[in-house]
Structure 1
Amino acid sequence: MAHAAQIKIPATYMRGGTSKGVFFRLQDLPESCQVPGTARDRLFMRVIGSPDPYAAQIDGMGGATSSTSKCVILSKSSQPDHDVDYLYGQVSIDKAFVDWSGNCGNLSTGAGAFALHAGLVDPARIPKNGVCVVRIWQANIQKTIIAHVPVSNGQVQETGDFELDGVTFPAAEIVLEFLDPSDDGEEGGSMFPTGNLVDDLDVPGVGTFKATMITAGIPTVFVNAEEIGYKGTELREDINGNPEALARFEAIRVAGALRMGLIKHADEALTRQHTPKVAFVTKAQDYKASSGKTVQGGEVDLLVRALSMGKLHHAMMGTCAVAIGTAAAIPGTLVNLAAGGGARTAVRFGHPSGTLRVGAEAAQVNGEWTVTKAIMSRSARILMEGWVRVPGDAV
């Protein structure tokens, strides 16, 4: 019996922040995959190695975590005053599903660097030495991201001494600005979809908890660690091996998605696994990070743990960091209260791998809170480039 031969597609494997993904130029994809739909989803699942009942993604480029099961498409921008359009797909590990409902803040860093590597930015805008400002249109959520990418001899400067907790080796710093992040562009609603800074969230079969539900960077449900039985110092192994704990977090996520209007029925959550995120917060305290080093309570303003695609994240999702910085800037949210309350323009929070600082500019206009900008630093590096191969019947 004859089988379809493998085909090869130009691709770049990149780290962006604390995530990794396979990056494509839109023009390099097979014609059937240059538009949204089943063909594109099938291709990306096969590239990553999903769905995999073994949850290992051995037969693909994925790394069997939500942080490494990702694909990105970039193209010259269709939007005025932007350089590139950036589209992100979160590939489910064990299910036949690609979630396009949100952004990846970590890979936004990679998008800025890849735009230069891939020749998608006007050469006249790239300095020989200095910083190139890459204007990114985030197509999933219809938002603008500005990446300040260091350039040396006309090429992206990837090596450097910027250290990012959750990434082993230092690299060059890339500053990201998330403009007007307080609306996801899809739902068209308020930054606080319920109209409140804090709600009582009823989670069937689990309980009722205080919750801040916010759409900034990515829709996120924040709860207090103590209310759900945690200290806020937990690492991945404390939660991810406990099916009952993960089921409780999923129940919280579904309840939050319903209250935020992201879904109309609970069963719709199965087709929206990427959003909303669930995070739990507590006041600053000492804890041991996953690297073994001790994070002192005096180094941070609060502690945050967040789940992505049903598992506790090893560090912090970039988009969730935007939500943290935004919520921290607004007096009265659970995040702000955990950080000590009051007005603030930046916070440094502790996560399982260490600490991260994020800033946000918030203001109240006509009784509504808005955020004009959130800022944080990440890094990016090409790990491999060439072609990714998939069986011909995958597209």
Structure 2
Amino acid sequence: MSPPIQLRIPATYMRGGTSKGVFFRLEDLPEAARVPGPARDALLMRVIGSPDPYGKHTDGMGGATSSTSKCVIIGKSTQPGHDVDYLYGQVSIDTAFVDWSGNCGNLSTAVGPFAIANGFIGKERLPKDGVFPVRIWQANIGKTIVCHVPIRDGQVQELGDFELDGVTFPAAEIVLEFMDPAEEGEDGGALFPTGNLVDELDVPGVGRFQATMINSGIPTIFVRARDIGYTGTELQLDINNDPAALARFETIRAHGAVRMGLIKDVSEAPKRQHTPKVAFVAPATDYVASSGKHITAADIDLCVRALSMGKLHHAMMGTCAVAIGTAAAIPGTLVNEAASGGQRQAVRFGHPSGTLRVGAEAECREGQWVVRKAIMSRSARVLMEGWVRVPAS
């Protein structure tokens, strides 16, 4: 019997926004993994090191958090007017599961630089110095993202003085435009799946409270912090060290997913871990971020805390930031209420690691709200490039 061997697959380990992931070119994957299915899922789980009952990802590239258990597949675009197709897989940490139901807004930032560095953009199209708009087709949700990548001497400029709360070191600023970010749905339900700006949820073990449920960037359930016993200034350990609290949030998420039409029964929620997100909002107030930075009410318009893959996020998911910006722009939502009401095109919110500004262009057409695009700034950097190894079996 011949000894087992390892596959050697070209890959790049990248930070995008406040997340990290393993990036692959579609053409570099083993043939069986170039199409959706069990072979692709098995490969990505083994790359990350899942499922890991120890919750450490010691034998893989993952970081055992929702922000670092991610894989990205990039290919030449199949869509007219786009440069690349971008497919994102959120790998579960302790179960054998890859969730393909949504996008990662943070890693979207790294797709543009990866596309340029890996030859998806002809060199003749790139400026010697300036900014190049990479047009990305987000294949998970069928949406366009424009990633404005800074170029220096014909190469991606990674370093700079742009500071992003939740990331330790500064880097070059990358502006992202999420075009028409509302997910498709039934008539009247594309942006607000129930047709309402605010709904009432009655969740067993939690109670009855109001929620804004929106499909923009990523399906998100917003609730008032005070309605579920919080202030909106909580940090990760305040929530993540409380198993009962995490169970309540998961129950909220499951029941909200049913109301949003994402699943038919709450029993299906464990197989759709990536979406929807749950976030709680509160009016602007002073607090101390996880870095020790003092955030004052004057610095922000509101406070937001969001959960991803069952845990409070250390900063803010990029796609959830799109949902925050969109909801803040629409009078009558709980997010807009927390931001003191009125119509606005941009909002700065406080999250556990600091603050983030996001803009959104929303308008009411024939009684229905639509959003044209959402805009935010992030940064990205290559951390390692070469080959990742996984057992051939």
Once structures 1 and 2 are overlaid, which stretch shifts more, 109-118 or 373-382?
A: 109-118
Residue equivalent to 2:201: 201
2: CA distance between counterparts of 1:311 and 1:129?
Answer: 41
Q: Contact 2:45–2:91 at 8 Å: present in 1 too?
A: yes
Q: Is the 8 A contact 1:274 1:309 kept in 2?
A: yes
1:123 Cα offset (Å): 2.3
Q: Report the Cα distance in structure 2 between the residues aligned to 1:37 and 1:338, rounded to whole angstroms.
A: 42
CA contact (8 A) 1:77 1:85 kept: yes
The yes-or-no answer on 1:43 pairing with 2:64 is no
In the other structure, the counterpart of 1:320 is: 320
The answer to whether the 8 A contact 1:11-1:22 is kept is yes
**Unaligned stretches of 5+ residues in structure 2:** none
Q: TM-score, normalised by structure 1?
A: 0.98
Q: Is the contact between residue 358 and residue 374 of structure 2 (CA under 8 Å) also seen in structure 1?
A: yes
- Deviation of 1:190 (Å): 1.9
1:85 aligns with 2:90: no
- Deviation (angstroms), 1:2: 4.5
2:327 partner amino acid = A
Partner of 2:139: 139
Amino acid at match of 2:236: R
Alignment of 1:161-310 (within 5 A): 161-183=161-183, 185=184, 189-310=189-310
Structure 1 residue 124 displacement after superposition:
2.5
User: Aligned AA for 1:300?
Assistant: I
**Secondary structure of residue in 2 paired with 1:68:** coil
2:185–2:193 contact (8 Å) kept in structure 1: no
Cα 1:293–1:361 shift into 2, 3 Å: same
Counterpart AA for 2:147: A
Q: Is the 8 A contact 1:187 1:262 kept in 2?
A: no
The match for 1:74 is 74
Is the 1:232–1:281 contact (alpha carbons within 8 Å) kept by the matching residues of 2? yes
Give me the TM-score of the superposition, normalised by structure 2.
0.98
1:217 and 1:174 map into 2 onto residues whose CA distance is 18
SS of match in other structure, 1:215: strand
Judged with a 3 Å threshold, the aligned counterparts in structure 2 of structure 1 residues 378 and 28 are, in CA distance, closer, same or farther, namely: same
How many angstroms apart in 1 are the aligned matches of 2:185 and 2:371? 17
Q: CA deviation at 1:3?
A: 4.0
Cross-structure match for 1:56 = 56
CA distance in 2, matches of 1:144, 1:186: 17
Q: Is the 8 A contact 2:49 2:59 kept in 1?
A: yes
Measure, in 1, the Cα distance between the counterparts of 2:300 and 2:152. Answer: 34
1:331 is aligned to: 331
CA contact (8 A) 2:361 2:374 kept: yes
Percentage of pairs with the same residue: 74
Q: Distance in 1 between matches of 2:185 and 2:31?
A: 27
Amino acid at match of 1:253: R
Deviation of 1:205 after TM superposition, in Å, equals 2.3
Structure 1 stretches lacking a partner, 5+ long = none
Is residue 106 of structure 1 aligned with residue 106 of structure 2? yes
How far 1:186 sits from its partner (Å)? 7.2
Distance 2:319 2:261 in 1: 19
Distance 2:173 2:200 in 1: 40
Post-superposition shift, 1:122?
2.5
Q: Deviations over 1:282-331 (max 9, x none)?
A: 00000000001110110000000000000000000000000000000000
CA distance in 1, matches of 2:125, 2:317: 30
SS of the equivalent of 2:163 reads coil
Structure 1 residue matching 2:248: 3-state secondary structure: helix
Aligned residues: 392
Query: Any conservation in 1 of the 2:206–2:228 contact (CA below 8 Å)?
Result: no
SS at match of 2:325: helix
- The match for 1:369 is 369
Contact 1:101 1:274 in 2 (8 A): yes
Distance 2:185 2:141 in 1: 6
The amino acid of 1:171's aligned partner reads: A
RMSD between superposed Cα atoms in Å: 1.0
Q: Which amino acid in the other structure matches residue 246 of structure 1?
A: L
**Is the Cα–Cα contact under 8 Å of residues 186 and 193 in structure 2 kept in the other structure?**
no
In the alignment, the residues of structure 2 paired with residue 84 and residue 157 of structure 1 have an alpha-carbon distance, to the nearest angstrom, of 20
CA gap 1:187/1:95 in 2 versus in 1, 3 angstroms: farther
1:208 Cα shift? 1.1
- Contact residue 305 and residue 352 of structure 1 kept, 8 A: yes
Tell me the CA shift for residue 187 of structure 1.
7.3
CA contact (8 A) 1:102 1:274 kept: yes
